[in-house]
Structures are given as structure tokens and as C-alpha cells.
Amino acid sequence: MDLSKFKWTREPEYFSIKDNKIEIVTKPYTDLWQRTYYHFQNDNAPLFQIETAEKYFSFLVKTDFTASHQRFDQCGIVMYLDSENWLKASVEYETERYQHLGSVVTNNGFSDWATTAIDAAAKTMWYRFSRREDDYRIDSSPDGVAFRQMRICHMHHGKGKIQFGIYACSPENSSFKAIFSNMQLTECQWQAHDGQPPDKIS
């Protein structure tokens, strides 16, 4: 991908872009979250995004979070439209035993959070972000070959031009180096669904 077309939303204090690899050093108390459940809000994570009006595509990236060590340290993919409309997917550090592979979708200022526990030994993860008009799909893979669906969602303001890319943050008093590589933009890998016949009513 042509990284010169990407722009920072909240440029990090420390970062490096070289040979199609991006390194971000997070700052403490940075996060993306809106309202839901405990009404906490934070909107200060650095984002590196590209803009497009293309309605059908897939974006792939490999993340390396070997250095994460504090609860909620995270790095992954993001589609950030504005402070109240965005989505993200990442692995969030929890303990020395497990982490959370999860995603957050925020529509009109309210975030959700869907997770599954994975072994703390995992230090890299691939993501594939796919768009079909204003519907989106996130897949993940430990090896960049076999991808599994994490979620499908609708973005209320996700039609027309969007911005998408990568992010990293440390919601608690922490800092770590997140590494992104192997970024690719491809034809949409999320195939159309032909639907199914309605249930028969006896």
C-alpha cells in the first residue's frame, strides 16, 4: 500500500514508518470508548488512516504486540469517522495467562464490546477489514492464511467516504511499542449473501 496516502488523526509522539512497517509507541491513558455501561468516554488514541469512497474492498494488516504488558494495552484496525461513529478490532492484554481478542462498534455515541479469550502466548494477529457499502465485516487470523469471522455490523454513518487504518493505545498507565506490517488493499473478500428462503409456517 502507498503509505503516503495515509494521514494521522492525533499523531503519536513516537512513531516510525520505514519499509512498509509502522511502529507506534503508545502513551498512557489513551483509548477509544464511548459511554456504554459505565458512561466512561475517551477519544484520544492515535490513528493512521486512509480515505476512500470505494464501496467494496478488503484491508489486511499484521499486528505485533509482543511488548504489551499492562491491562488493556492494544493495537489493531480502526475505521474512525468521528468521535461518536467508529469501529475497532484488536487483542487487548489482560494477564500473563490470557488476552481478549475483540472488537468495538460505536454508533451515534454508544460503544459495544465483543470479546473472546485467547492464550497470552499469542503475540501477533492478522486482521481483515471488509466493506460492502455501509455494512462491515472483521476477520482475524493467527497466521494470515486462515481467517475467522469476528463480527458483521452496520454503521449508521458508514456510507460514502470513510477513513480506515490502524491504531494503538494504552488505556491505563502504560506504554508499549506496537508494530504493523504486511498492509494490503484487495478486492472485497466478503462474498455477497444470496439469502435463504423464509421459514415455512404450518
All structural domains of the chain with their residue ranges: 3-186
Identify the residue whose cell numbers are 480506515: 164
Asked whether the beta carbons of 140 and 127 are under 8 A apart, the reply is: yes
Share of the chain above pLDDT 90, in %: 90
Question: What mean pLDDT value characterizes the chain?
Answer: 95
CATH of domain 3-186: 2.60.120.200
Asked whether the beta carbons of 155 and 137 are under 8 A apart, the reply is: no
For the stretch 9-29, pLDDT in tens is 999 999 999 989 999 999 999
**Number of neighbours of residue 74 by Cβ within 10 angstroms:** 28
Q: What is the DSSP letter of 28?
A: B
Task: Provide the residue type at 120 as one letter.
Answer: A
**Predicted TM-score (pTM) of this structure:** 0.94
For the stretch 120-176, pLDDT in tens is 999 999 999 999 999 999 999 999 999 999 999 999 999 999 999 999 999 999 999
